[in-house]
Each structure stands twice: as structure tokens, then as C-alpha cells.
Chain A
Amino acid sequence: MDINAFVLFWAAIFTSNILLTNFLGMCSYLSVSREVESSFGLGVAVMFVLTVTAGLNWLVYHYVLVPFGIVYLQYIVFIIVIAAFVQLIELIIERYVPALYYTLGIFLPLITVNCAIFGVSLFMIIRDYNFLQSIAFGAGSGIGWLLAILMLAGIRARLKEKLIPVGLRGAGISLIITGIMALAFIGFSGIVQIQ
């Protein structure tokens, strides 16, 4: 696909936000968005993992899977790479940023099964991005995910003081807010399309 990496980066954040237009990575988005602080932590972790695994998976795809003719195994291999990398990140965070490790707690391993991360790796193959484009797309999607979860966490923090009908509290109201946020993001889509 012939698209400037820089444009792709911005498009991934705004016009094709991985969460708000593709609805990928919803489960951790809904469960960790109660506090701004931990959402930021998880968002940064997702952004980092997304950027690096997009690059790693691109290399593995083009230098291992294609030459050995096992492209059909890409699902398994991508997941293995993501899982290993998340474990590595977990070890590093536990060692060097313990405060972040304790706020993220059990949510860190959630990144392994975060479909946004797997989705980005698959999109970059389907859309035939080159290495630079893949990194830009990974980083942009990560920032887009971070942006979305931060916005939701901010709104939810304000909602704490508001009266919400019992049946809508928690996931219910979060999904409605997400829908409205997604509508707002559609406004950007005229700028550039990368689908």
C-alpha cells in the first residue's frame, strides 16, 4: 500500500482509531478505565507493546514465515511472539517501575489477549505495509488506544458523582459513552482513509 508512514501514523490515531472504529481491544478498555492513573499506565503499556510487536511480527513474517513457506501459521506465530514479548515487558516493569506494576496488577497479562494488538499485526500483513509503515501504524494505533481509554476514564471519573439509572451503571454507560465517542471520531474520517 502506498501511503506515507507519517500520514498512516496520524490516520491510525484519529480517522481509523483501532478502538473507536474497529472496536478492537474492548475488554481491557472497559475493565481498566475506572481510574485515569491506571488507564494511563495500561495505555502506555499497550502502546509500547503494539509498536514493538508490529515491528517484530513484520520481521518474523517477512524473514521467517515467507522464506520457510509457513505463512499459514502466522496466527500461531504472531500470538507466540506477542505472548513472549508481553512477558518480557512484565518482567521489566516489575523490576524497574514497580509502582506501575502494582497498579496494573492482573491487567498486564490481559495485554497478551488484547485483540487490538493481534489485529494490528494482521492488518499490516493484509494491507501489505512495509516495515516503516508497520511501525507507524502500530505506534499510531497504540496512541489511539491510549487516547480512547484516557477519554473514557476521564468521563467515568466525572460520572462518579452523577446519578445514573441502576441498570446502566458500569459497563452499560461505558458502552454508550464509547458509542458517542466513536460517532465524534467519525467526524475525522473525511481527512484520510486507510481502510
Chain B
Amino acid sequence: MILVILKDIATLCSISGVLAIILVIAHRFLNDYGIVKININGKKDINVKGGNSLLSSLADNKIFIPSACGGRGTCGACKCGITKGGGPLLPTERPLLTKEELITNTRLACQVKVKSDIYINIPENIFNIRKFNSKIVEIIDYTYDIKGVTFKLDAGEKIDFKAGQYIQLITQPYAKMRQSVSRAYSISSKPEEDDRIQLIIRYVPEGICTTWVHQQLKVGDEVSFTGPYGDFFLRDTDADILFVAGGSGKAPIKSILDHLQVVGTQRRMTYFFGARSKKDLYLTEEMKAFESVFEYFRYEPVLSQPKAEDNWDGKTGYVMPFLKETIRDPQNTEAYLCGSPGMIDAVSKALIAAGIAKDKIYFDSFG
């Protein structure tokens, strides 16, 4: 009886085996696109093995296009222009591209497969993006759910970024998380300190990366990240500035202010920081101190739900009503917003209603 069963299983296995071998061989030959060329900005050619996604082919050549979702085709961060090659637009790309982007041949690098020579356009500053290895040198508890973590780069390494930009932290597998993921975090330290960066990370319950940072990492641990990314940075004009942040959105603005302290500025600046109650406030002394550094600077924490024991005598409610009275000259005001998508949406609407042009509102949405 057992022999009969074994014989049957063996036959079944051999049928599957033969089919599997045929598939493996077919895969080898059919999926072999040989070496193909990626031409970047009409200047530089790189040769890669055909068949992989554009995003990973570039990453293999140390060119890191932002990819907040890690190549799943959901974030739209990996957009790049393709002038020739790349095949037809895929159904997975369409929802993330705007009408203009569809016309100008913008594609998602994580979805496009490189099967033949391809000509792409990417911003020059992407070449600045590299992978860095670092060691944690400091972890500060700013509030019950926000930590400031400082990463020192390997000896001799330097990172060249603009105040306001972000990096992608790469997690290591821990506990039940067997994969490593990467998540975006704004740099909170100033560009002048180019051998280290500080991040301000708010704990998200059940969040993969923030649980790792808050519960696993300790001083001395080695961590890698790629960067710098992003076009959220201070524009070089003399317009008045409105900063609005919530939660960990303080990070890029802290970096901008630290940088302005080094280079100096005469611009009129107001900084609204929205929080729920006093226990969500942090770095208040440091931000207040900027009022004596700059000639025209004001820091305004606003609490939406102050508790009785907070003894709060500052502004309460949401920040929106306070914006209009602060704006002197809407034509000549820039706004820099950072925080949750909901906050950014509401504040943008209020600013536009107050007469600020849409293209003068810059933001980093943490959504």
C-alpha cells in the first residue's frame, strides 16, 4: 500500500519536476534581455542587465531615485521623465500621474522595466543622493512619543543637503518584521554639520519603522539611509515667511532656522506650531530663543486641546484663524508647511483664502 502511494507521489513529482525544468530554462532564455543602455539626461550612459525595474537598475548603479513606498507603485515619489524606450504606460502608473505628466512622458521608475535601451531625464541633484552608513550617537526623548535621534556618518563621509530635505531610513529586520523597509524622515539638523544628521521621529502605533526606532535602536547601533531627497527647502527671496508645523513636522523647520542662524537673515518670519496639549510641545525654549537671534522672528505654539493642568495662556484652537492677521503682504509672503496631510490641506486652504499664491506654498506631507 505504502509502496503504491510512494510510486504515485514519485510520478506526480516527476511530472512537476519536468515542467519546472522547462520553465526554468524558458525563463533563462526568454527573460534574458542582455545588456541594455540607460542614457541619463543625454549626458551619461550606464549599462545594466535588462529585465529589471528602472528604479532597481539605477539603484544598482548607485543612483537613488526617491521611493517612499519601496517600489510598490503607491507613493508616486519615483517619477522620472522617459524620452525614449520604456514601453507603453502601465495601468499601475496611470492613477499616480497628473494630466500634464501623462503628456510629458513622466513615468514611475519602479513600474517601468528596462528591456531595451532607454533615455531618461532626472534632476541633476539626484546624483547627490547616496547610501550612507552611520552610527547612532544620541537619542533624546522630546515627548512621550517623539524622539530625536542623531546619526554620525562613517569616518570621512560627508552629506551635502539643503535645510528642509529628507532622507530614507532603511530598517533592519526585527521581531516579526523579516523584511527591511525604508521610510522618509526630514533632517532636523543643519547642513553645516555635514558629518551627522538628526531626525525627529514620532511613534506610530504598529508602525514598522517607528516601532523599530523607538523600541529597538540604542546608542552605538549601525544604521543605513539614502538621501538627501526632496524639494522642500527655503527659497532664496526676501519675501516674508510663514512656517506652520505639527508633531514631528518641526524637524525640517528646525533645520532651516538653524541654517539661517549661520547665514543670517533680515526676513520677517512667523512660526506656528500646532499641538494638542502641553505634553505634545517640545524644543519650545530653543525655538523661542530664535526670537533674540533674528530681528523679525516670532514663535507661536498653538494648543488645540489644552488641559486644565497645563495652565496655558497662549493661543488655543487650530492655527488657521491666526494666519490671516499675521500676513502683512500676501503678494510677498511664502509659506512652508510640514506635518500630516489633513493639517497641510486645511492650512493651504486658509492661506489661499488669505490671498497667498498657490505656488508660494511649499509643503512636505508626512502622509
Contact = CB atoms under 8 A, between A and B. Distances in A.
Given A99-B88, A102-B90, A77 B15 contact: yes
A42 B73 CA distance: 25
Nearest to B87: A98
A84 B22 contact: yes
Interface string B86-115: 011011000000000000000000000001
Contacts of B16: 80
B157 to A, nearest CB: 41
A73 B4 CA distance: 13
Interface string A57-97: 00010001000111001001100110010011001101100
Contacts of A88: 22-23, 26
B23 A73 contact: no
A109 interface: no
A113 B23 CA distance: 18
Interface stretch (B6-14, B126-134, B144-152, B227-235): B6-14
Nearest to A67: B11
A107 to B, nearest CB: 10
A94 B115 CA distance: 10
A172 interface: no
Contact of A60 (B8, B15, B27): B15
A102 B88 contact: yes
Top 4 closest pairs, chain A to chain B, by CB: A84-B19, A91-B30, A68-B11, A95-B30
Interface of B: 7-8, 11-12, 15-16, 19-20, 22-23, 26-27, 30-31, 87-88, 90-91, 115
Given A77-B12, A98-B88, 14 more contacts: A60-B15, A64-B15, A68-B8, A70-B12, A80-B16, A80-B19, A81-B15, A84-B22, A91-B26, A91-B27, A94-B30, A95-B30, A102-B88, A105-B90
17 contacts: A60-B15, A64-B11, A64-B15, A68-B8, A70-B8, A70-B11, A73-B8, A77-B15, A81-B19, A84-B20, A88-B23, A91-B31, A98-B87, A98-B115, A102-B87, A105-B90, A105-B91
